[in-house]
Amino acid sequence: MSARGSQTGSARPQLTASLLRAWRTSVPVEEWRSFNEAALRRSCAAHIEFGARRRRHQTLLRVSSAPAGVAAAGAAAASYSVVELVIEDMPFLVDTLSMTLAQRGLSVQLIIHPVLRVWRQASGAIQSLHAEIEAANGAEGGVRESWQYWRIDRIGDEAECKRLRRRLLAALADVRRACGDWMRMRNAVLKLCADISRRPPPLAADMIAESRALLQYMEAHHFTFIGFRESRLRRRRNGPALVPLPGTALGLLRRRLPPPRDTGIVTANIRRALRSPELLIITKANHRSTVHRPGYLDYIGVKRYDERGRVIGEARILGLWNAHAYTADPRQVPWLRHKLKRVLEHFPFAANSHDGKRLLHIVQTLPRDELFQASVPDLIRCARAVLLLQDRARVRLIMRRDEFRRFWCAWYSCHASAAMPPLRPEWRRWCGRRATAWSWNPVWRSAKHHRHSCTSWCGSIRQATRESTPTGSSVISPLRSSHGAIGCVRQC
């Protein structure tokens, strides 16, 4: 499946036919038959015209309120707008565009995204192409390009099309930064591991070993690296500050992110991190991901020490844990296995006893973000809260405040006989009444604890609540529903 020749009028039909065949192989047969093939052919020809000239590393993106290449405007043509993209192939392109469109409230009606091997002249003019999905006989060279054609909910305003195009271009620029620095970020993490081995910080040996093992685990394709930067600690009049080292920013951190609203909170957080007896700081960043999937970025800070064992800075890693990190047995994940061991040792249960097995299962099935981010004392309190439910037909909503006082993590545990789905809107309303202004990052996951109770992870509230309490204390606030009181809230 190929089309070769100079960029002349006679070559365009051959290029169009080749791209149309690539489209057909990218769409299920039954779905293809439901489309107007003549209209698709016109759209395909318009796409060839649009991608006919592209310079190296150039992003060609067009958002049109009327489908390009459609001769007659009919009811079908008026029901959707078109997004066309021609770019060198990279990971996360489809995920990122889908995420950005969803954030704008736009549904996708059709997506065709073949990967093509394209030959171009030095000027960028297209010479030939063939579909990557099929092996080309004797085809060598060329550049792998992603040619994407999207039909989305109709945008009737040309100005809105321009705004959407700017938003999509910004997201694609972030994809390019993350992918372009992918190996540099991985190498930077390996260098951190080597530095830790060469100059161990003044911490417990097991903590150092587990911290280094977690960094190696991340580098072994269990973490999607999106940003990296080294910072050094500087003493300022208002307190300590982390100052980025020039030339160390990679990925998303190459661009300037919005500054924090309250510098006083930032200073307090730095002091709190300095007092922490651990090598790693694992939490959520203040910024949502613009690449791959929505949600707040995972933040891993690696403290840097001088020859005297004093903290002098931080290596900041931003990204997203991958599926394996969320689904693997925590006893097989570095750092998690260390925390799990410490939690289990706190309780006086024999490993083969009923309570010991139940406790192990509770801790293993706690929300994975909690296992990564929560301190060992917090995990002990959370595990105890679930363990004490036993066979009680009650629901307990458990809230843990972020170490840096930026958000609350909330999840509930209930007896297996309780009706769980009705509780979701109930507790959403409860949190909404107690938050001055809140935003959700919901991640609904259910896990059955033995045969007695279930827990369902509900997400995070990223604002301070009106009912603030000291760390470690609890608020007894019964949740009322049509079933009566359904539990209490505890800060873990």
pLDDT, tens digit (0-9, with 9 covering 90-100), for 412-436: 776 655 545 555 666 666 666 655 4
Among 487, 491, 437, which residue's Cα sits nearest to residue 469?
A: 491
Neighbours of 233 (CB within 10 A): 17
**Is there a single domain that holds both residue 189 and residue 175?**
no
pLDDT bracket for residue 77 (50, 70, 90): low
pLDDT of residue 450: 46
- What domain range includes position 334? 328-491
Q: How many domains are contained in the chain?
A: 3
Range ranked top by mean pLDDT from 18-32, 212-226, 271-285: 212-226
pLDDT, tens digit (0-9, with 9 covering 90-100), for 96-154: 999 999 999 999 999 999 999 999 999 999 999 988 766 445 556 789 999 999 999 99
Residues 6+ apart with CB under 8 A from 194: none
Helix (H, G, I), strand (E, B) or coil at 475: coil
Above pLDDT 90, what percent of the chain?
Answer: 54
**Is there a single domain that holds both residue 360 and residue 463?**
yes
pLDDT of residue 484: 31
Whether residue 234 has pLDDT greater than 70? yes
> Strand 126-131 vs strand 115-120: parallel, antiparallel, or unpaired?
antiparallel
**Is there a single domain that holds both residue 187 and residue 176?**
no
**Is there a single domain that holds both residue 237 and residue 386?**
no
Identify which has the larger pLDDT, 234 or 442: 234
Looking at 298, 324, 350, which one is the last position of a domain? 324
**Is there a single domain that holds both residue 280 and residue 424?**
no
Looking at 153, 180, 207, which one is the last position of a domain? 180
**Is there a single domain that holds both residue 131 and residue 222?**
no
**Is there a single domain that holds both residue 371 and residue 483?**
yes
pLDDT bracket for residue 408 (50, 70, 90): confident
- CA gap 374, 366 in Å, rounded: 11
**Is there a single domain that holds both residue 36 and residue 75?**
yes
Looking at 268, 298, 324, which one is the last position of a domain? 324
Residues, the chain: 492
Phi-psi category of residue 69: left, alpha or beta, with phi > 0 → left and psi -120 to 50 → alpha: left
**Is there a single domain that holds both residue 109 and residue 211?**
no
**Is there a single domain that holds both residue 148 and residue 216?**
no
Whether residue 443 has pLDDT greater than 80? no
Question: With 0-12 CB in 10 A as exposed, 13-18 as middle and 19+ as buried, what is 288?
Answer: middle
pLDDT of residue 459: 57
**Is there a single domain that holds both residue 129 and residue 78?**
yes
**Is there a single domain that holds both residue 27 and residue 174?**
yes
Mean pLDDT (the chain, rounded)? 81
CB 318, CB 226: distance < 8 Å: yes
